Amino acid sequence: MSDVILQARSLSKRFHDGVLDVTVLQNLDLTVAKGETLAIVGASGSGKSTLLHLLGGLDAPTSGQVSLMGRDWTSMSQSEQGAWRNQHLGFVYQFHHLLPEFSALDNVAMPLWIRRMNRDEAKEQAAQILKDVGLASRMAHRPAELSGGERQRVAIARSLVCKPSCVLADEPTGNLDRRTADGIFEMMLALAKAQGTAFVLVTHDEALAARCGRAFPLSMHVDR
């Protein structure tokens, strides 16, 4: 069990909106191991992004539990959750969410500065991970000066700079053309293998899902 990074047990999520009572996830069990690449797939409304938020401790389940590196999210205070998340998780979204006024290097160094790492040391680590994702010559550029694929590479570098146990990615290539998406995905797989980082990604792209080590299909549960 030492290789288990994330684990969900009997996980359910219901949303209440007026007279509607909607069950999105019901009695779900999921285990993510070190270095695993897992694709969460399913129709729109099946709860893919909701599951990702629960795994990352960004939302609380209605019932069941989620543990990261053996610690249940609900057993921690908000500040403890933030520190645990910063230590063990990285996040990548369909849209890069980079800070427009900062360079690629500063965007990647930001999580390390949040940890109060020495600024020069943080920049050194950020520079190395940007080299790893093929952006050695683009470090001083701001997001507006980068292509869509380059911005997403910066976002992936930022998610990896703290050497997380797992990266949670929500449609990380959904805003890119096929060729760029394939390149980004190949890079993610290579980094997972080289660093032992697990990648859990939500994707509508069946071709990309098929290239992951495992697919986790979600079916729709709707009770009204």
Condensed to tens digits (0 to 9), the pLDDT of residues 97-116 reads: 788 899 999 999 988 888 88
pLDDT the model gives residue 1: 44
Q: What b/e readout covers 36-53, taking b as 16+ CB neighbours within 10 angstroms? A: bbbbbbbeeebbbbbbbb
Residues 155-211: tens digit of each pLDDT: 888 888 888 889 898 887 776 777 777 777 787 777 777 778 888 988 877 888 888
H or E segment to which residue 157 belongs:
helix 148-160
How many Cβ atoms sit within 10 Å of the Cβ of residue 31? 15
**Domain residue spans in the chain?**
36-62+74-218
The reply to whether CATH 3.40.50.300 applies to domain 36-62+74-218 is: yes
Q: What does pLDDT average to over the chain?
A: 84
pLDDT the model gives residue 94: 65
Instruction: Say what percent of the chain tops pLDDT 70.
Output: 93
pLDDT the model gives residue 103: 94
pLDDT the model gives residue 107: 92
More confidently predicted of 163 and 123: 123
pLDDT the model gives residue 224: 41
Res. 44: pLDDT tops 60 = yes
For residue 166, what are its two tokens? 């797992």
For residue 177, what are its two tokens? 């053309």
